[in-house]
Structure 1
Amino acid sequence: MVTLSDVAKQANVSKMTVSRVINHPEQVTPELRDLVEAAMAALNYHPNVAAKALANNRTNVIKVVILEDIDTTEPYYMSLIFGIAKGLDKRGYALQLVTDRHRMNGGNRADGFIVTGERASDIPLLEMLNEPFVIFGENRYGFDFVDSDNKAGTTLATEYALAKNYQSIVFLGIDVKESFEYSREAGYINTLQQHQKIPQIHRLSNHSRVSQAFICDRWEKFAPDTCFICASDRLALGVERGIIQKGGRIPEDFGVIGFDGVFLDQVANPQLTTVKQPVEQLGELLARMLLQKLAQSGAQQGEVLVTPELIKRGSTRE
């Protein structure tokens, strides 16, 4: 049977260091933590997490709460939840998924919450939570959060559209009054203003059928040499369909750029140029932030923004 001493010998550190990595990972450097975890993996050593949780009056359960309609985001959440699960599993924590807002504080106990899809109307609900929580997504309420850098993402997209010589650049946003949407619009607006171009913003519900109808109904208003920058791949997918339905050519006359980069960008035809969010990585970062918050007795963690990547495909000019 592998012991703590065996792990310490394998990693060439003291037993105290191994114990700290297991019980108080926030007290050691990331490099040292990686070294000990590699030794544990090599020896197939698994700490008794149940005994540890009992001793610390913990459940080793984290509730992941989804407060929005996943019908418009389902591929996205599969990657996010997988990332969260990976991050929690590294520390011996289990994930419990909650989709009913009325059950957030009910049922089985949990050590903390990861909350996503919240809107302004949900703030009183969050403030009633009894345990520490972190948010997935920018917010203006002072809650700890992890998100993509939404402003940087649409800045990348707008600069790329300009570089490809599209003369008219239109932004299709999501009709929600939330921080992530404002940031995506800001990246587009600021970039166009720097090039002395006038922004054109339209806000739609996040459904491809809505954006397809929007294009078809206003087709005469959009001249060739237009690029549509969309706040989601779902909107971009509908834009593509609308352009094709009206006989437009993509990418020669019309360009389309999405935002998300999870599944829909690849099934679109042509495949979407998109601002790809590292969703699985964001999930792991959420887990890490919450567990650090628990280790620090609920101390404020601030914000983590991760720069997304522009993936260039067939819906824009080469």
Structure 2
Amino acid sequence: MVTLLDVAKKANVSKMTVSRVINHPEQVTEELRILVEQAMDELDYHPNYVAQALVNKRTNVVKFVTLEDIDTTEPYYMNLLFGIARGLSKKQYAIQLVTDRGQIEDGNFDGYLITGARSSDYAFFDNLKKPFILFGENHHGYDYVDNNNQYGGELATKYALSRLYQNIIFIGIDVREPFEYSRETGYVNTLQKNKKVPQIYRIANHSHAAQEVIKNNFHKFPKDTCFICASDRIATGVVRQLLDEKAKVPADFGVIGYDGVFLDQVSNLKLTTVKQPIFKMGELLANMLLRKINQKGSPQGEALIKPSLVKRESTR
């Protein structure tokens, strides 16, 4: 049976250093951590995190709290949960799903991963007694993980311009939240740099709302227009109504979505979209929370991951 001493010898470090890498990785350099982790992998050494949890009076349980309707999000949260589960499993942590606000503080657990938060929820977070990380950009100083929404807006807009669409219109979500502002900012900044005038519509995050916008304003949209949408839900509605109006997509009208989880592939025309690295963000969420628990609640800051552009049938 491989022991801590075997790992120390393999990495040519002390047992104390190996212990620190396992229990307090923030106390060692990245170079040293990688060296010890490589030795652990080569020797197939697996720390007994359950025993460590008993010593540290932890439960090895994390609550995943969603503050929005999880039934309306397609496979988005399934991908996120798989990423979180992968990150937690490395330290033998279990995940508990909470959808009822009244159960947020029930039972024994070590911390929270919270998604679907809105500005109205922030006062509640200040009263939480255990470490938490938010999934979603915020400007209130809470630790969070998200994709780089502003970069995503820029990415979509630059691509629309590169496809020689002359009119670029943004259809956003009518919420006053940082992720929406950031996506709009990426769009606006890019257009202004190219000496074009931004045009923004804000609607509920539903495909039928997007259809209504196109139906009611179709006569205003000249050919050579590309719609940058704040979600794939909105984009699917835009495509559907454009086709109902007998518009030529993508020759005369282009559509770019945002998310890249499922709807982009089942739209009438497969969507060009800004793809969020959901699985990777889930794993990062788990790692950040476990680090915060290990550091007794020390701030972790923000982590923004760049999305990518997937080019499909809805743009030329």
Counterpart for residue 273 of structure 1: 272
Residue 36 of structure 1 aligns to which amino acid in structure 2? V
Which stretch shifts more, 92-101 or 180-189? 92-101
1:82 alignment counterpart: 82
**Cα drift, residue 212 of structure 1:** 2.0
How far, CA to CA, are the matches of 1:33 and 1:82 in structure 2?
25
C-alpha spacing 1:102/1:213, structure 2 compared with 1 (3 Å): same
Indicate whether 1:291 and 2:290 are aligned. Answer: yes
Q: CA deviation at 1:169?
A: 0.9
- Name the counterpart of 2:29: 29
What CA distance in whole angstroms lies between the structure 2 residues aligned with 1:261 and 1:173?
Answer: 16
CA–CA separation in structure 2 for the residues paired with 1:235 and 1:71:
17
Number of residue pairs matched by the alignment = 316
2:55 alignment counterpart: 55
CA distance in 2, matches of 1:26, 1:17: 12
Q: How big is the shift at 1:68?
A: 1.0
Q: 1:252-267 to 2 correspondence within 5 Å?
A: 252-267=251-266
* Equivalent residue runs for 1:102-117 within 5 Å: 102-106=102-106, 108-117=107-116
CA contact (8 A) 1:265 1:271 kept: yes
Distance 1:35 1:60 in 2: 26
In 1: Cα distance, 2:265 partner to 2:10 partner:
44
The one-letter amino acid of 1:50's match is V
- Residues 23 and 294 of structure 2 are in contact (CA less than 8 Å); yes or no, is this contact kept in structure 1? no
1:65 aligns with 2:88: no
Quote the Cα distance in structure 1 between the aligned partners of 2:159 and 2:129: 46
Aligned residue in 1 for 2:177: 178
1:221-243 alpha-carbon deviations (Å, 9 max, x no partner):
22211100000111111111111
2:163 is the alignment partner of 1:164 = yes
- Give the 3-state SS of the residue equivalent to 2:75 in structure 1: helix
SS at match of 1:74: coil
Matched residue SS, 2:146: strand
1:42 Cα deviation from its structure 2 partner:
4.2
Quote the offset at 1:73 in angstroms: 2.0
Query: Structure 2 CA distance, aligned partners of 1:177 and 1:249?
Result: 33
Aligned ranges 1:1-318 → 2 under 5 Å:
1-106=1-106, 108-317=107-316
| AA at the equivalent of 1:299 | S
Partner deviation per Cα, 1:145-184 (whole Å, 9 max, x = no partner)? 1111111111111111112111111111011110000111
Deviation at 1:210, TM superposition (A): 1.9
Which segment drifts farther, 128-137 or 14-23?
14-23
1:10, distance to aligned residue in structure 2 (A)? 4.1
Letter in 1 for 2:93: Y
Query: What's the TM-score once normalised by structure 2's chain length?
Result: 0.94
Shift of 1:7: 3.0
- What amino acid sits opposite 1:215 in the alignment? I
**Whole-Å Cα distance in 1 between the matches of residues 6 and 268 of structure 2?**
55
- Where structure 1 has 5 or more consecutive residues not aligned to the other structure, the ranges are none
Aligned counterparts of 1:295 and 1:49: Cα–Cα separation in 2: 12
How far residue 278 of structure 1 moved from its aligned partner, in angstroms, is 1.0
Deviation at 1:74, TM superposition (A): 3.0
CA-based RMSD of the aligned residues comes to 1.7
Looking at structure 1, the residues matched to 114 and 195 of structure 2 have their Cα atoms a distance apart, in angstroms, of 40
Q: Deviations over 1:32-58 (max 9, x none)?
A: 334433443444433222221111111
- 8 Å CA contact 2:143–2:300 kept in 1: the answer is yes
Q: 2:170·2:228 contact (CA, 8 Å) conserved in 1? A: yes
Instruction: Give the residue type in structure 2 aligned to 1:70.
Output: I
- With the length of structure 1 as denominator, give the TM-score of the two structures: 0.94
Question: What amino acid sits opposite 1:203 in the alignment?
Answer: R
Q: Report the AA paired with residue 271 of structure 2.
A: L
Identity percentage of aligned residues: 62
Q: What's the secondary structure of 2:233's corresponding residue?
A: helix
- Write the distance in 1 (CA, Å) between the matches of 2:135 and 2:234: 21
Q: Secondary structure at the match of 2:133?
A: strand
C-alpha separation between the residues in 1 aligned to 2:74 and 2:242? 25
CA-to-partner distance for each residue in 1:253-289, whole Å, 9 max, x for gaps?
1100011111211222321111111111111111122
8 Å Cα contact 2:79-2:278 kept in structure 1: yes
Q: Which runs of 5+ in 2 are unaligned?
A: none
